[in-house]
Amino acid sequence: MNHLKLPPHLNRRQVIQLLGMSGMGYLLGSCSDEFTARVGELSEPLNQSFGELLVKPQKLIPEFPKSAIDPKALLLNTYDITPKIDPDEYRLTIDGEVKFPMQLNLKALTQLPQTSIIMQHVCVEGWAAIVQWGGFRLRDLATMVQPKASARYVLFESADKYTESWDLASALHPQTLLANRLNGQPLPAENGAPLRLATPIKLGYKLSKWVTKVTFASQIPKGGKGYWEEQGYEWFGGI
């Protein structure tokens, strides 16, 4: 087991305060090989572009009341094939243009600060549903891995080989989640468990299910815009 080692110039209290400023104080309670980041290096300043996105006010989409939720309105795409994922073997990989690449298991991911949003899920096929998604903010993952100044995009890979690519600002929007709950209940496998993307600022085809990898990138690789985008769908996919 790899334990987190504190640098000589920082004591445990100082590190807790440092991580707490980024909402990541939970990290010290999870000293395991799933957290491969070197805590001492978190004292380095965030790169300017990443830091600006974290503090720059981004327009929030108004939420809906719980009374507006209609569980039957959220349809399943008939072309989706639900992959079999062993929860004990699952790992979320976060890599690319980051200072601290990581692989996190489900136990570690549940220790991230949890939140929820009641939003309209809009499908490009012409239907919409009011849904409550619960999970953790993608920006909290970004704070842990610290994207380099070269990072401009975020690429997503899923267990069913589905791919997506986003601009960095959309990924760091405070209402962009990696969701593990649906309408207050554990996320069903057919809806993307253990993790799927959820945000009110993107159309449904941008909201990947069964996410297994998050890659911060300086550019989108050739042929890597996304499954539907490579077939002619609009890349940004905003609402």
The total of other beta-carbon atoms located within 10 Å of residue 239's CB is 14
pLDDT of the residue at 77: 85
Give alpha helix (H) positions in 105-183. Answer: 106-110, 138-145, 168-171
- Interval 9-39: pLDDT, tens: 334 443 333 334 333 333 333 444 444 343 3
Intra-chain end-to-end CA distance of the chain, in Å:
45
**How far is residue 111's CA from residue 132's CA, in Å, rounded to a whole number?**
20
Domains of the chain: 1-44 (no CATH), 47-231 (3.90.420.10)
- Interval 46-73: pLDDT, tens: 677 788 888 778 899 999 999 999 999 9
Q: pTM for this structure? A: 0.82
pLDDT of the residue at 45: 62
Give the residue from 169, 171, 175, 209 showing the smallest Cα distance to 63: 175
3-state percent helix, strand, coil for the chain, nearest multiple of 5: 25, 25, 50
**Average pLDDT over all residues of the chain:** 85
Helices (H) and strands (E) in the chain, counts: 5, 10
For tokens 């649906």, what's the residue? 182
For tokens 């009011």, what's the residue? 130
**How far is residue 121's CA from residue 154's CA, in Å, rounded to a whole number?**
21
User: How much of the chain, in percent, has pLDDT values that exceed 90?
Assistant: 74
pLDDT of the residue at 49: 78
Give alpha helix (H) positions in the chain. Answer: 12-21, 48-55, 106-110, 138-145, 168-171
- Interval 201-238: pLDDT, tens: 999 999 999 999 999 999 999 999 999 999 999 999 99
Q: Looking at residues 40-51, what average pLDDT do you find? A: 62
**How far is residue 106's CA from residue 176's CA, in Å, rounded to a whole number?**
19
Q: Give phi and psi for 41, each to the nearest 5.
A: -75, -10
- Interval 86-134: pLDDT, tens: 999 999 999 999 999 999 999 999 999 999 999 999 999 999 999 999 9
Sequence-distant (≥ 6) Cβ neighbours of residue 165 within 8 angstroms: 153, 154, 155, 156, 217, 220, 224, 225, 226, 229, 235
**How far is residue 14's CA from residue 8's CA, in Å, rounded to a whole number?**
11
Instruction: Give Cα separations from 19 to 12, 195, 216 (angstroms).
Output: 11, 24, 21
pLDDT higher than threshold 80 for residue 186: yes
User: How much of the chain, in percent, has pLDDT values that exceed 70?
Assistant: 81
